Structure 1
Amino acid sequence: MIDQVLSLLVLLSLLVACAEAPPPPAESPPAGLAALYATDFLVGAALGGRVIRDEDSLSRALVVREYSTITPENVMKWEKIQPTADTYNWGPADDYVAFGEEHDLFIVGHTLVWHSQLSDYVKQITDPGAMRTALRQHIGAVAGRYAGRIDGWDVVNEALNDDGTYRESEFYRVLGEEYLTLAFRYAAEAAPDAQLYYNDYNMWNGEKRDGAIRMIEKIRADGGRVDGIGMQGHYGISGPTIDTIEAAIEAYAAAGLPVMFTELDVTVLPNPWDLEGAEVSQNFENAPDMNPYPESLPDSVQTALAIRYADLFRLFHRHRDKIERVTFWGTTDASSWLNGWPIRGRTNYPLLFDRKYRPKPAYDSVAAVAATPR
């Protein structure tokens, strides 16, 4: 009887102790990439139309959890936002900006002046005065509408050839290199508080790199304000080399140009034509051997992709004093533009999240770089 009473007393004392003990701390959710790199640079993603229209809630949640900056893939390009001289389509761009504001993200506008996805009425302009007017009206209307709300603009996109010479765009044919200075002047007038960038692909290429620096020095000498350079990061598993990208970062920084990596993705598919960058006019007929992973990515390629991303982010971290932003071009593999370029119908795997919104080994490798003691 005594033993039973003692056992009961012990049990009661344990229950009292458990009742008085504080509950175990709730397990914190894992930090997103923006938090992991918060002291280094902004990390973000480009948003497609479905995400902006709130037709992909999982991607929206992923963006809010992982990133601190956003860029629109298409809704702000000239033909989308001003299809005719007298018509503006503000709805999608308004939704994009509202999403960024709701979640306190650094909002990038993309892009004010680009030769591609350009409205037909602009292509028909041959008079220099009329082209200056079109530039001023478009930039003033678009950048002006979001003044104080958009934090940075890709003012001019892809104005150079790979050898550093000027691309023969509609703007260049009518105005020559003057259009570049005008674009940055008009943008500064319309959105004086926004950062203003030049954005292009293959910016690691030595000739193009040097041409970009010369071009921006000329724009600045003529009174245009350029606050940084966007290096589109459309890379492959094996190239360009880390040393080549690093040399470009250092050259831009030496020229007084902070660097943004604006369109980062890594293709895992074969590229027999040695194509580089993002020239959207390039397209080729499909062939079975050009789509080697239609269902899933082999473990060996997943590992190679993870290693490539780790190498890139080690480079970015090493130059965090020169780099202000790293933006992935898309949210998941399913939404990547590389599924249809340069060959339609292929299945690519270039981003950190798979088609089911799950982080890939590449994500883990990028997170590990941030967590590595230095």
Structure 2
Amino acid sequence: MKMNQRDKIRIGFSLFLVILIGLGCVVKSDKNPVVTLKDAFAGKFHVGAAMGSHHIHERDKEAINVLGTHFNSIVAENVMKSGMIQVREGEFKFSEADKFIEFGKKHNFHIVGHTLIWHSQAPRWFFVDDEGKDVSAEVLAKRMEIHIKTVVGRYKGQVKGWDVVNEAILDDGSWRESKFYKILGKDFIKLAFQYAHEADPEAELYYNDYSMANSGKREGVVKMVKELQSQGVKIDGIGMQGHIGLEYPTIQEFEKSILAFSELGVNVMITELDLTVLPSPRRDMGADVATNVEYQQSLNPYTEGLPEDVQKQFDDRYLAFFKLFLDHHDKISRVTLWGINDGDSWKNGWPVRGRTDYPLLFNRDNTPKSVVSEIMELAAKY
């Protein structure tokens, strides 16, 4: 593919920045020297990345170097979910999760556990008896207690915070009618937080969800958290999954949610940040993994790289969101990218499988995108 002048500049700058970092040099701003993303946001919030299995086993050495250079917080993309850890009742498989924790401790990362209770990747046995019928509320509560206390207890004092419950509220603010909800009602969230707190009283406990800039979901989550707080339930933070597009959500609505959640007296976290540049079969699809669309070539337009105008939209959009995060860094404790480089991203396979997306801050070859230096320069002004 023939490169335009902007592409040449971007690639040249990326290689230059990699050389600087490798030599231990700095990128200068007007006020402070800036070396890496984690240096740029020091004293403001943790900057993290999600690790896949290939990262945990350190098969992509260059990506691991990027992780160590630029990030100070990690979360496991999949290996700590209940469907991975307890495939069959009572049979806990911790080898992958153990390796993730060992990596984090070895390299002194702030470690986040993801996720204890989530309807989407919970094993089917969790909800049924030997005859395949729904279990009673008492049985499900006991299974939740055993699972949560076994997992949280194993990593007590090592995991700094847990995504205790994931995606329990719908975009209109109503409760998702998952099996957890159908069998236990609203109490399943209260019980999950109680069990996690009993297993590790020092760990921070979070609620995490997508499309959190939607006004309906915002109101629903605020209502839910207030109910938990009125019952004396410990909840330390709210995770706003940052699965954004070039046009959605609006900065204004995202900011409203940051403010609304902060007013509850909890930390706000941007937990799964990525920016898709690809056309969506449906506007603002959130992150519901139950939705997957058949491949259409028209939905995969950038297999050979991004056009200059789209690249500019991407850069401007990331800068706008990081400016928002910096404006409210007193309320935000962590910003986590959902992957390390573009090749890692789940967005290449969702909501349409087999596409080429560019949602993260590092290219597929692990070189930083030019916007990385712009983000660091922006942070130096705060």
Aligned to 2:197: 188
The 3-state SS of whatever aligns with 2:339 is coil
- 1:49-60 to structure 2, matched below 5 A, reads 49-60=53-64
- 1:105-254 to structure 2, matched below 5 A, reads 105-124=109-128, 125-254=134-263
- CA distance, structure 2, for counterparts of residue 44 and residue 201 of structure 1: 18
Aligned to 2:276: 267
Change (3 A) 1:252 1:224: same
CA shift for structure 1 position 366: 1.6
Instruction: Please tell me whether the aligned partners of residues 302 and 362 of structure 1 are also in contact (alpha carbons under 8 angstroms).
Output: no
Cα deviations by residue, 1:329-366 (Å, 9 ceiling, x for unpaired): 00000010000000000000000001100111232232
- Between stretches 202-211 and 340-349, larger displacement belongs to 202-211
Instruction: Please tell me whether the aligned partners of residues 77 and 112 of structure 1 are also in contact (alpha carbons under 8 angstroms).
Output: yes
The 3-state SS of whatever aligns with 2:271 is strand
Aligned to 2:324: 315
1:180 counterpart letter in structure 2: I
- CA distance, structure 2, for counterparts of residue 220 and residue 144 of structure 1: 24
Query: Where in structure 1 do 4 or more consecutive aligned residues deviate above 4 Å?
Result: none
CA shift for structure 1 position 258: 1.3
- CA distance, structure 2, for counterparts of residue 299 and residue 357 of structure 1: 20
The 3-state SS of whatever aligns with 1:217 is helix
Instruction: Please tell me whether the aligned partners of residues 314 and 369 of structure 1 are also in contact (alpha carbons under 8 angstroms).
Output: yes
> Any stretches of 5+ residues in structure 2 without a counterpart?
1-21, 27-34, 129-133
The 3-state SS of whatever aligns with 2:239 is strand
User: How does the TM-score come out when normalised to structure 1?
Assistant: 0.91
CA shift for structure 1 position 239: 1.6
Match of 1:76 among 76, 80, 87: 80
1:329 counterpart letter in structure 2: W
Instruction: Please tell me whether the aligned partners of residues 198 and 230 of structure 1 are also in contact (alpha carbons under 8 angstroms).
Output: yes
- Between stretches 92-101 and 249-258, larger displacement belongs to 249-258
Greater relative CO, 1 or 2 (CA 8 Å, sep 6+): 2
1:28 counterpart letter in structure 2: G
2:334 paired with 1:334: no
- 1:353-372 to structure 2, matched below 5 A, reads 353-371=362-380
Match of 1:324 among 315, 321, 333: 333
Aligned to 2:91: 87
Aligned to 1:28: 24
Cα deviations by residue, 1:209-266 (Å, 9 ceiling, x for unpaired): 1110111111122232100100000000122111111111111111212100000000
- CA distance, structure 2, for counterparts of residue 290 and residue 364 of structure 1: 30
- 1:340-355 to structure 2, matched below 5 A, reads 340-355=349-364
- CA distance, structure 2, for counterparts of residue 273 and residue 280 of structure 1: 14
- CA distance, structure 2, for counterparts of residue 337 and residue 74 of structure 1: 11
- RMSD of aligned Cα (Å): 1.3
Instruction: Please tell me whether the aligned partners of residues 243 and 272 of structure 2 are also in contact (alpha carbons under 8 angstroms).
Output: yes
2:67 paired with 1:63: yes
Q: How many matched pairs?
A: 348
- CA distance, structure 1, for counterparts of residue 291 and residue 23 of structure 2: 49
2:262 paired with 1:258: no
User: How does the TM-score come out when normalised to structure 2?
Assistant: 0.89
- CA distance, structure 1, for counterparts of residue 255 and residue 331 of structure 2: 11
Instruction: Please tell me whether the aligned partners of residues 303 and 361 of structure 1 are also in contact (alpha carbons under 8 angstroms).
Output: no
CA shift for structure 1 position 27: 5.9
Match of 2:294 among 267, 285, 303: 285
Aligned to 1:11: none
- Between stretches 144-153 and 115-124, larger displacement belongs to 115-124
> Any stretches of 5+ residues in structure 1 without a counterpart?
1-25
Instruction: Please tell me whether the aligned partners of residues 69 and 327 of structure 1 are also in contact (alpha carbons under 8 angstroms).
Output: yes
- CA distance, structure 2, for counterparts of residue 247 and residue 161 of structure 1: 18
